[in-house]
Amino acid sequence: MRQMRWQPVGFAVAMGMMLGGCAADAVIPDAQLITGATFITMEDGPAPGAMLIEDGKITALGTEDALRVRNPGAVLSDFSGRTIMPGIVDSHAHVRELGLDALKVDLVGARSVEAIIARIRQQRPDAQPGDWIIGQGWDEGAFASYDGTDAVGGYPTTRDLSEAYPDNPIALESLHGFAAMANDAALMRAGITDTTPDPEGGTILRSPSGHATGVLLTLAQNLLFDAVPDPSPDQLEAAIIAGLGRLAEAGVTSVHEAGMQTGDVAAFQALAEAGRLPIRVFGMLNGNDAALMEDWFASGRQDDPDDWLDIGAIKVFYDGSLGSRTAILHAPYTDRPEAARPTARISLPQVERLAERARQTGFQMAVHAIGDAANDHILTSFERRLAPDANGPVPDHRWRIEHAQLVRPDFAQRASALRLIASMQPSHAMGDSDWAEDRVGSRRIRRAYAWRMLQDAGVPIIFNSDLPGEPWEPMQTLHFATTRTKRDGTPEGGWYPAQAVDRETALRAMTIDGAHAAFQDQALGSLAPGKWADFVVLSDNPLTASDIQAITVEATYVAGTRMTDQGASSP
């Protein structure tokens, strides 16, 4: 049984009433009547005027008078002037990394090695010789367009970084995780020399003379980060709690953690057992880890009846990214094709074996595919594994393609026929808009980040953040999805605005459709009787507000409990 340390909203008020002389049987602390708000339920039918919550679940929606009669002892919470909607389901995120980022140098927005050095000096002024310095957030897409005199493969060398910090090993993770920078001290610690061979699925960028430049692409990063000390179990748990707390503050009540490693699973399970998860987690195991998957295929999915920690999906990393030119394309990259290194991080036969085991054991497949050829390959693999066999048609599988960023002309029809879910990130479109067309040209770009095209073809879409990296808060995601503009409103009119979706579609993709993608739509994702009382209180109505990004989150509730300060409760 989960030992909750938080109290339902209104508990203090209810106790005060009891101690003040009200009859004990007239007050039920576990019952709350929410009134006054504008309700967005994500269900069909007229909006209710009130919501009754009992024992953490929604038991009725209707008029205030009718619900008062139903439970006259319910504690009243008046949210007049506010909007209440289901909690956001962030259906593809990296909570562990979000929490651990507090230990890293923030490099988001740094556009040169000089800027990176300035950030390190500012944020790690007390680094002692020999200390590792870890950073995160330099944009591999922007850096891969570098054309300075020391450019190699589109990237600058890290020579200046080595000169500035000769005694500190430095490892810098990129914004989307497909490249890394390291200075000479870090390369030495990792045993990476000019003669180190490229690992399968990775590239060590080298100068024309054969010198390792300090830039590592895709799986070559493992050579570096295997040398970086791992966080302790306590640090990992603290990072997860910190990350989940930040999500709760932003209005997220459920998150799909993409690519859990063995240590991550243990940390999440320990936190769930101790009742310390502030929001719900749906675990997606790292399918590229063969040993991990063997263990889970043997033991089966984890299904928590209270929905705090379910583990039921396999996240497979297939190709790379457009920014680093490691995504797998049908035709060459339009800009600098000689610098491209298309990379398969796992073989297609391995993907198909995982898919077959997933079908047999009931796990959901969720495969990272960016390039149009990569998406085509995964579609073909899924078509083979989801075809009817001697046992009949495949049951409700809800398999997913993560990103579906650049696709072939027939992708939408094929994906719709398979009932595949396209898991997409509006922030990626806007973050990549400065260089994406350069990578693939004016013809192919019209089939990139193509939300409306997929929706019109009947492909279910879910929107999520893929945090950390690009702006990830839900109202930012909603803004990107519906305007195709950056946070500052540029470009005017939107970047390929025909691919924008309307606000209701976007909100569904961030709530009930996200819950559906985790087989949780009977318990989460909308405001309906019988579901958990997971909801967010907003300063304005996201369906009608003139400025979506100005909307603030005033409270986040999970199972009827108000979550603030990383999981503490307040009346």
Residue by residue, pLDDT tens for the chain (571 residues) are: 233 333 333 323 332 332 233 333 434 458 999 999 999 999 999 999 999 999 999 999 999 999 999 999 999 999 999 999 999 999 999 999 999 887 889 998 898 899 999 999 999 998 899 999 999 989 888 887 766 666 777 788 899 999 999 999 999 999 888 899 999 999 999 999 999 999 988 899 999 899 999 999 988 999 999 999 888 899 899 999 999 999 999 999 999 999 999 999 999 999 999 999 999 999 999 999 999 999 999 999 999 999 999 999 999 999 999 998 999 999 999 998 998 999 999 999 999 999 999 999 999 999 999 999 999 999 999 999 998 876 677 789 999 999 999 999 999 999 999 999 999 999 999 999 999 999 999 999 999 999 999 999 999 999 999 999 889 999 999 999 999 999 999 999 999 999 999 999 999 999 999 999 999 999 999 999 999 999 999 999 999 999 999 999 999 999 999 996 333 343 3
Nearest Cα residue to 549 out of 497, 488, 494: 488
Q: How far apart are the first and last CA of the chain?
A: 24
Count CB atoms within 10 A of the CB of residue 387.
10
E strands in 25-168: 31-35, 38-39, 50-54, 57-62, 75-78, 83-86, 88-93, 105-106, 133-138
Q: With H, G, I as helix, E, B as strand and everything else as coil, classify residue 25.
A: helix
Cα 498 from chain centre: 25
CA 50 to chain centre: 32
- Identify whether the C-beta of residue 177 lies closer than 8 Å to the C-beta of residue 428: no
Alpha helices in 392-434 (DSSP H): 411-418, 426-432
Report pTM.
0.84
Residue 571 three-state SS: coil
Number of H helices, E strands in the chain: 20, 24
The helix (run of H) or strand (run of E) holding residue 186 is helix 184-190
In 3-state terms, what secondary structure has residue 406?
strand
Q: Are 309 and 279 in contact (CB under 8 A)?
A: no
CA-to-CA separations, 473 to 89, 282, 459, 478, 553, in angstroms, rounded: 11, 19, 25, 9, 10
- Scan for tokens 């049984």, then name that residue: 1
Tracing tokens 């970047």 back to the chain, one arrives at 495
46 DSSP assignment:
P
Q: Which residues pair with 400 in a beta bridge?
A: 366, 421
Which residue reads 């680093």 in tokens? 324
Whether the bond into 231 is cis, omega within 30 of 0:
no
Which residues 6+ apart lie within 8 Å of 102 measured at CB? 239, 242
What are the structural domains of the chain? 1-87+525-571 (2.30.40.10), 96-225 (3.10.310.70)
Cα dihedral 463, 468, 469, 472, rounded to 10, equals 40
